[in-house]
Amino acid sequence: MSDTNGKLSNTSDALHETAARGVEAIHAIVQQRDELLASYTRAQADLALYKERNTQLDMRLSQATAERDHYMRYCTELTTRLTNIQVLISTTVEEAKRAAYKPTRVVKQSQLDAADQQQLEQLIAKLPNNTTSDNGQTS
């Protein structure tokens, strides 16, 4: 019977040892699961932060794009207006060059013949007299 008791105790010890190893393995698995859950929770929180940051950056990007488009349209309009002004100025200068002011030739009285002289005097006589006296009244 002692032989049977010895086998039973060996078997019991082996069972206890196997059970202890099983408990340690289960404990290690539970610890690993807890670590993975904590890591998953941190990853979820990081993902939520990244999503919020991404949303904010998208809003800022759309606002900056709208401002850029506005200023690009304004710049194009301004450039067009400045180009039109430049063309107007250059056209005006070219026209002024072609039709430059040329003073009329002043003819001396001595060169006028008698008929022309008489006609000029008649024209001058028809002009209104705009001379003013010292008190501001026309005579």
d(CA 93, CA 99): 10
Q: Calculate the dihedral angle through the C-alpha atoms of 16, 17, 22, 25, rounding to the nearest 10 degrees.
A: 140
Q: Which two tokens stand for residue 49?
A: 């932060």
Residue 139 has a pLDDT of: 46
d(CA 94, CA 75): 28
pLDDT bracket for residue 137 (50, 70, 90): low
d(CA 40, CA 3): 54
- Measured between alpha carbons, how far is residue 113 from residues 92, 110, 120, 122 in Å? 41, 8, 11, 15
Q: Higher model confidence: residue 85 or residue 110? A: 85
| 135 pLDDT more than 80 | no
